[in-house]
């Protein structure tokens, strides 16, 4: 069987969770299969949210891709196929040379001596030219994913908009609604960009540093989208927030040891869209 692409991983739970999170934001998207790895860079119809997924070739058990290929995928349909995967399974994705319009999805369980193969229909989608512009982030916050999820969910019960503000060594999250307001202050949680974070952001041409005591970095964002983003909590115990004044918020999660998913949200301004 000749193939133009093949990727094999035992990180089935993380792949399943990642696609489950993406499908609630992006209906259809183009995956770029390249020798260096798998990339998804897609924007929602409102041009408010940008999803950037990158899985590194070197982190798969098996990876083979001689040249760049673009495959269009419906996220909900893909999730229907892989949602029953467990952590005991092995996932293999491949495209046969003679069947370029299909993605073959093979799920194996060695303990049960079971192999299931799906022939998944690909879509012909327009390949939009979307790129992440280089940026120097004034504040980078690393915090437990469950904490960020709880804060955004709690605030979404009160209002629609959250203000995220970084002042020196404090992170302040606040919202205001018709019947109440909330402010949560987290101290000693803003630090200089760690080596790992710096490396991950350098890949997209971005960098950051801790603000000094005189620097105020703030933005207003729609809680509806942030509560959707926080579903990625099941991917990683930690999340990173990249903040810059008058710039989209970037929320990043590790996808096991395979790579990173970054979610970019435009600030809440009337008719505000992500500039690409």
**Using an 8 Å Cβ cutoff, are 158 and 179 in contact?**
yes
Of the three residues 121, 145, 165, the one that is the final residue of a domain is 121
Gap between the Cα atoms of 258 and 235, Å rounded: 11
Shared domain check, 190 and 104:
no
Of the three residues 121, 150, 177, the one that is the final residue of a domain is 121
Give the pLDDT score at 103: 98
Phi, psi (5° rounding) for residue 15? -65, -45
Give the pLDDT score at 132: 66
CB hemisphere CA count around 108 (13 angstroms): 11
Shared domain check, 157 and 116:
no
Give the pLDDT score at 47: 81
Give the pLDDT score at 136: 86
Q: 3-class SS at 247? A: coil
Give the pLDDT score at 48: 87
CA torsion, ordered 267, 273, 274, 276, to nearest 10 deg? -160
CA torsion, ordered 91, 97, 100, 106, to nearest 10 deg? -20
Give the pLDDT score at 15: 96
Rg (CA), the chain: 20
Structure tokens at 276: 């690409």
Give the pLDDT score at 221: 95
- For the domain that residue 82 is a member of, what is the CATH number? 3.10.150.10
Number of domains in the chain: 2
Longest dimension (CA), the chain: 64
Shared domain check, 83 and 53:
yes
Per-position pLDDT tens, the chain of length 276: 799 999 999 999 999 999 999 999 999 999 999 999 999 999 888 888 999 999 999 999 999 998 999 999 999 999 999 999 999 999 999 999 999 999 999 999 999 999 999 999 999 988 766 666 677 888 899 999 999 999 999 999 999 999 999 998 889 999 999 999 999 999 864 443 343 344 444 444 444 444 455 689 999 999 999 998 888 998 999 999 999 998 999 999 999 999 999 999 999 875 444 444
* Best CA proximity match to 75, nearest among 30, 14, 27: 27
CB hemisphere CA count around 232 (13 angstroms): 29
Interior angle at CA 224, CA 223 and CA 228, nearest 5:
105
The domain in which residue 60 lies consists of 3-121
Distances (CA, A) of 275 to 75, 133, 159, 246: 24, 9, 26, 12
**Using an 8 Å Cβ cutoff, are 95 and 71 in contact?**
yes
Give the pLDDT score at 192: 38
Give the pLDDT score at 182: 95
Shared domain check, 192 and 100:
no
Shared domain check, 183 and 257:
yes
Shared domain check, 62 and 10:
yes
Give the pLDDT score at 168: 83
pTM to 2 decimal places: 0.85
């Amino acid at each position: 069987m000749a193939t133009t692409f093949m990727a094999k991983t035992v990180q089935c739970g993380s792949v399943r969770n990642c696609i489950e999170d993406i499908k609630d934001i992006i209906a259809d998207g183009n995956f770029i299969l390249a020798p260096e790895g798998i990339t998804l860079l897609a924007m929602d119809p409102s041009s408010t949210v940008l999803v950037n997924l990158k899985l590194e070739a070197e982190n798969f058990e098996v990876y083979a891709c001689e040249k760049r290929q673009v495959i269009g995928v419906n996220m909900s349909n893909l999730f229907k196929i892989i949602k029953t995967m467990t952590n005991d399974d092995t996932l293999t994705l491949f495209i046969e040379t003679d069947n370029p319009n299909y993605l073959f999805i093979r799920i194996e369980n060695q303990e049960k001596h079971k192999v299931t193969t799906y022939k998944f229909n690909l879509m012909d989608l327009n390949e939009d030219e979307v790129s992440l512009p280089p940026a120097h982030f004034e504040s980078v916050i690393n915090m437990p994913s469950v904490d960020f999820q709880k804060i955004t969910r709690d605030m979404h019960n009160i209002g629609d908009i959250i203000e995220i503000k970084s002042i020196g060594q404090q992170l302040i999250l606040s919202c205001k609604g018709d019947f109440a307001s909330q402010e949560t202050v987290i101290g000693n949680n803003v630090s200089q960009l760690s080596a790992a974070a710096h490396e991950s952001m350098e890949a997209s041409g971005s960098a950051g540093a801790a603000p000094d005591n005189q620097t105020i970095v703030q933005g207003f964002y729609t809680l509806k989208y942030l509560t959707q983003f926080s579903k990625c909590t099941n991917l990683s115990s930690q999340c990173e927030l990249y903040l810059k004044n008058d710039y989209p918020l970037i929320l990043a999660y590790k996808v096991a040891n395979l790579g990173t998913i970054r979610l970019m949200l435009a600030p809440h301004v009337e008719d505000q869209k992500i500039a690409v």
